[in-house]
Amino acid sequence: MNRTKSIKRQAIVLPLLLIAMLLIGSCGEAKLKLNKPPHAYEGTRLTTHVNDLDMAHTGKGTSSQIIRHPGHTLSYNNNWRLPNWVAYELTREETDGNVERTDWFDEDPQVHGTRVRHSDYTNSGFDRGHMAPAGDMKWDKQAMIASFYMSNICPQVHALNAGIWNTLENKVRTWAKRDSAIIIVSGPIVPQQHMTIGRNNVAVPTHFYKIIASPYNNSPRGIAFIMPNEDCELPLYKYAVTIDSVESRTGIDFLYNLPDSLENYIEQNYDLKAWQL
């Protein structure tokens, strides 16, 4: 059945203010920044549209075009021809979708400026690596199609794309089932001096990051991973870092719409046992 995320979502958000007070003992001012105000309360749960939440904020001086698609939101960097970040929420229900992969990589019609093409990656030696994976978009046909826009794609070494990066994507789905809903933000790390591929000079990242946050859980938690763009042979937990570490590396402010104390707690701490690593 075709459905949009804004209609489908039955929010699983516990009062962020209360959680922060329980965990930290005091709470900063709530900073929910929405395109629309919260439209419904269901007991203690807040219902919002996921795409109304900007889950990351690109630093000043960085090329950034915010693009919203069914299933994910991204910040597009026209200098790199890559996303700065791709963010989405994944719920337990959405992990059970049955929409088939399209495997049709296409230009993003919303991109201003240079639009990367499928052919930019041909014979480059790199995979077309998803930041928001198609496997997380099986709940909706349009979300699946949007996941194959080239704005959601980065050059990845095949051994990474098919290896530990894929392992992490599968873990994310396991965590979404366990916690009912999680926030995921992924993206590339591109140094000032970098190689490019294709006629449109697509930047090749040296590393990739993925942050996962579970702020709606009774025990809010967060974790992040940074992996080199190569065959990564270490166990997954060896690449785990704090979300703060990714912010320092990228200059991106993640989860800035959460109350300060909750945001700080999630970003400064990670517990490998809590994430079953």
Model confidence pLDDT, tens digit, residues 121-171: 999 999 999 999 999 999 999 999 999 999 999 999 999 999 999 999 999
217 pLDDT band, cuts 50/70/90, is confident
Residue of higher predicted confidence among 170 and 259: 170
- Alpha-carbon distance of 115 to 87, in angstroms, equals 20
Lowest mean pLDDT among 18-22, 59-63, 91-95: 18-22
Mean pLDDT of 89-116: 95
- Write down the mean pLDDT value for the chain: 84
pLDDT at residue 59, as a whole number: 84
Q: Rg of the chain's alpha carbons, rounded to an integer?
A: 18
Domain residue ranges in the chain: 5-268
pLDDT at residue 224, as a whole number: 98
pLDDT at residue 53, as a whole number: 53
- Alpha-carbon distance of 31 to 257, in angstroms, equals 5
Q: How far is CA 87 from CA 76, 82, 123, in A?
A: 12, 14, 29
Select which of 57, 72, 130, 207 is catalytic. Answer: 130
Residue of higher predicted confidence among 30 and 99: 99
> Is the domain covering 5-268 a CATH 3.40.570.10 domain?
yes
- Alpha-carbon distance of 134 to 146, in angstroms, equals 9
pLDDT at residue 51, as a whole number: 41
Task: For residue range 16-58, list pLDDT tens digits in order.
Answer: 433 433 443 333 322 333 222 222 222 222 233 344 456 798 9
194 has catalytic annotation: no
- Alpha-carbon distance of 67 to 151, in angstroms, equals 9
